[in-house]
Structure 1
C-alpha cells in the first residue's frame, strides 16, 4: 500500500497557521490577565470596594440599627477586609444574640443573618414584665403591656430558680408552652420547687419544677380525656390525677403524693 507523501512546501502554510493560532491564544491570555489586573486595581481604588449597604435578617426583638452598630461595619469598611469571626464575636456581645453569619453580595452589599435567644417567659415585677431568655438571663428592659408570646412568671425571687425554670420551659414542646398563661412559684413545706400554672384553656396545673418538662409532655393527652365543660386542677407532682373545682379535695391522694415526694427527697 502506497503512503501519501506530503511535500515540505505543502506543510509550511499549515505550520505557519498553527504558530499564528498559538501566538493569538497567548496574546489573548496576556490581554485577559492584563485587563483583569487593571479592573481589580480600579475596583479596589473605587467606592465599589467599600460596603455600601448592610442588611439584617432574622432579628425579631433586636433593632437592625443596633446590630449594625455592634458589627462595626460602616461605609469605610472594605468588602474584602471583613473578618467574619471578628464581626460575629462583636455582635454576640449583645445579650440577646445567640449566633450570626455573614454573606457578601457583589458588588458591595453585606447580609447579617441573626439568631436571637428565644424568649421563654416574662417575669412580673411591680406590674412590669421583663423577658427571660432561654439561657435564663433576665433582660432589664421591662414593658408594661401584658405580653402574649410567652408565659408570665409570678412570685419568682431567686435567680437560680428562674434559670432552672427557664431551662425546663425550653424543653417543653412549643405547642404546650404556648398554652401556658402564667407560672406562679408556690413553694410548699415538702417542695420548695412547687409551681401553679394557669392554662389558656381554663385548667390549672399543680406541678414541680424538678419534673416539669417530663410531666408536662403528657398534658395534651390528659386534657383529651377530660370533659371539656368540667374545669379544675391537674396534679402532676408525683402521680397524675384531675380534681374538678366543684368536687371535694382528695385529701388521701394529696397525703399519698406528699409521702411519695418526701421519699424521693
Structure 2
C-alpha cells in the first residue's frame, strides 16, 4: 500500500509542475497584455490619432466662429479625450450674446460639434448719435453709430427713461418674425391717461398706436388688419383689446376694422 502511494505521488509531480508553469505563463501573459496596452495608450495619446479631427459650429449668427474657437481653445492639436464638454459649455454661456451652448463628441471620427443658441437683437435704443443694441432678455450692448444699424431690428426712440424696457424686450421677442420685420421704429409717447403708449412706424407706411401692455398679442393682429385696408391710403391704426380703428392721414374720420384681438 505504501509503495503504491509513493508511486502515485511521483506520478503527479510532473502534472503539478505543468500546472504551475501554466499559471505562471498565464500571469505573464496578463502582465504583458497590460504592459503593451498601457504602452499603446501612451503612444496613442501622444500621437495625432488622439487629436480632434474636425470641429463643426452650428447656430451662430452674431458671434463669429473665430471667437467661439478662442473661448473654447479648440483646434486640431487638442486632445479629443481631454475635451470637457460641460466646462466648455459653461464658458460659452458666459458670453453676452449666447443663450445656451451644447457640445457633442463623436468617436471614432474625433469630431466636436458645437450647437449655439444666440440671444436675439429685438431693437436698437437711440441715444444721441448712437444705437444701443437691445437683447431679448433686456440686456444692452455697447452702442454703435446710427449709420451702422442694419435695419434688422426696429429703432427705439425716446426710451431713455422708460421703466419697463426688459418687459418690452420680451414682448418684441415674442412677435412672429414676419411682424417684427415690419416695424421700422418705435417711439414711447406717454400721455396723462396712458403712460405706456407706443407709436410704431411701419415699413409699409402705416403708423400704429397701442399700449405696451400685451404688446405682442395686440400687434400680432396687424397683418389681418392691414389686409382690409385700401392700398395706397396710409394712416394711423389704433389697436387695443376692443379691436382696431383706422384713420387716414388725409381724413379725421376713423373707420372700425375687423381683426382685432379676440
Length-normalised TM-score, structure 2: 0.75
- Cα distance, 1:107 vs structure 2: 4.6
Match of 2:252 in 1: 248
| Unaligned segments of structure 1, at least 5 residues | 1-29, 254-265
Q: CA deviation at 1:193?
A: 0.9
Partner of residue 138, structure 2: 136
How does 1:135-154 map onto structure 2 within 5 Å?
135-143=137-145, 144-154=147-157
Residue pair 2:127, 2:160 contacting (<8 A) in 1 also: no
Aligned residues: 220
Structure 2 counterparts to residues 42-81 of structure 1, below 5 A: 42-51=43-52, 54-73=55-74, 77-81=78-82
Give the corresponding residue for 1:182: 185
Residue 191 of structure 1: how far off its partner (Å): 1.1
Which of 207, 211, 221 is the equivalent residue of 2:210? 207
Residues 159 and 184 (structure 1), Cα distance of their counterparts in 2 relative to 1, 3 Å cut = closer
* 1:78 to partner: Cα distance: 2.3
The alpha carbon displacement at 1:211 in A equals 2.3
1:227 aligns to 2:230 (yes or no): yes
Mark the runs of 5 or more structure 2 residues left unpaired by the alignment: 1-29, 257-262
C-alpha separation between the residues in 1 aligned to 2:83 and 2:216? 43
Find out whether 1:120 has 2:122 as its counterpart.
Answer: yes
> What's the C-alpha RMSD, in Å, of the aligned pairs?
2.5
Q: Secondary structure at the match of 1:236?
A: strand
Q: Is the 8 A contact 2:130 2:143 kept in 1?
A: no
Cα deviation code 1:35-56 (max 9, x no counterpart): 8776544321213323365443
